[in-house]
Copies of this chain bind each other. A is one copy, B any other.
Amino acid sequence: VATLTDGVDARSSGSVTVKTVAAHAGVSAQTVSRVLRGSGYVSPATRQNVLAAVDAVGYRPNAVGRSLRAAKTPMVGLVITDITNPFYASLHKAIEAVLRGCGLTLMLLNSDDDLETQRQQLDLVSSYRPSGLLLAPAVESSLTKEELARFGNYVLVSRLLPGVDAPAVVTNEQEVMQEATQALLAAGHRRIMAVLGPAAASTTRRREEGYRTAMTIAGCEPLPYYTDQTASGARQAVKDALRARGDITAAVAFNGPVTEGILAGMRDMNLHCPQDLSLVGFTDAPWMEFFQPPITVVRQPVEAMGELAARLILDLIDGRPVENKPHVVPSRLLMRSSIVPPS
């Protein structure tokens, strides 16, 4: 290795490594490594010397070399279904804030709620040898603990995996969906539809359960409708439902996009909320507050869910024990003005 005394030359050479810094500072590569990682004892004079050399040669650490040696990357994968769903965007932001503070990078992948895409994305994340995985499984995922084991540390988020007792972060969907349905029942509604997500999603099953419980206790027939949990899918489903059953007077929504879809479908049919249909939305969005009428909605604690998920995966990475069960963060029903008695 030639001794480099000219920083500009080293910079322009393209590949500035710890060896370049070491040669410039007149020390060994390991000493440079020690200074940069702040581990082990280094004399103050040597430290200054090395730091000056780092600046002089314009050294930038190479995470790939570090990861290969460490057999692990300081990175956590987050595999969700769709980042354009504001719930997941907020979740990502909350998780990233916590992980960044702990020196971990968050790698985001969309599964498009498709099993084959999810498989590819999991393989991709796995190929980087991440420190952990956060997963909102695609509908009908049949992942086992063995398949998740290759990630070492993993936490499910938002959705569960049937038959797999993994650490998970969810909200008290059944309870709050039951409460939402009861708010409509209390206003006098009897024919209340639930516009749900895919029948096989754990979120649908849990939210549907709360809805059915409330309807059954009240002696009302449950009217569940399943959608692809997008605004456009819900929009069509609502129109089909309302045309088939003109006597429906109220609806509970499964998530934010479905809430939008219900209102869009109503507009298509020239129906008005709440006169023609009372509504409880799910997942608060800013516009729901200044909409006319302001939408009564289940507010999910998305920031708290993200923070908890981040803390759980950090606990696992640092070897602290984490319970293999759903960790529940409570949602709240915000009463606004989209419920009136049926006409």
Residue positions of A touching B, CB distance < 8 A: 15, 60-65, 67-68, 71, 73, 82-84, 86, 89-90, 92-93, 96, 105, 107-108, 110, 123-124, 126-129, 150, 231, 257, 260, 263-264, 266-267, 285-287, 289-292
Contact = CB atoms under 8 A, between A and B. Distances in A.
B110 A60 contact: no
A127 B61 CA distance: 6
Contact of A92 (B68, B83, B123, B264): B83
A94 to B, nearest CB: 10
Contacts of A231: 286
A285 B89 CA distance: 15
Nearest to A92: B83
Contacts of A62: 68, 127, 129
Nearest to A71: B15
Given A89-B84, A286-B231, A289-B267, A110 B124 contact: no
Question: Which of A71, A126, A264, A286 is packed against the most chain B CB atoms within 10 Å?
Answer: A286
A83 B89 contact: yes
B267 A128 contact: no
Contacts of A108: 92, 108
B105 A124 contact: yes
B73 A84 contact: no
B127 A63 contact: yes
Contacts of A123: 60
Contacts of A89: 83-84, 86, 89
Given A105-B124, A110-B96, A126-B60, A287 B289 contact: no
Contacts of A292: 292
B60 A68 contact: no
Contact of A291 (B63, B96, B287): B287
Contact of A63 (B90, B128, B290): B128
4 nearest A-B residue pairs (beta carbon): A63-B127, A267-B290, A287-B287, A64-B67
6 contacts: A60-B127, A62-B129, A84-B90, A86-B89, A107-B107, A264-B289
B93 A60 contact: no
B83 A73 contact: no
A126 B60 CA distance: 8
A65 B129 CA distance: 10
A62 B69 CA distance: 12
Contact of A150 (B60, B286, B290): B60
A89 B83 CA distance: 6
A55 to B, nearest CB: 14
Given A82-B93, A83-B89, A110-B93, A64 B129 contact: yes
Contacts of A126: 60
Nearest to A260: B286
Contacts of A263: 287, 290
Contacts of A110: 93, 96
A289 B231 CA distance: 12
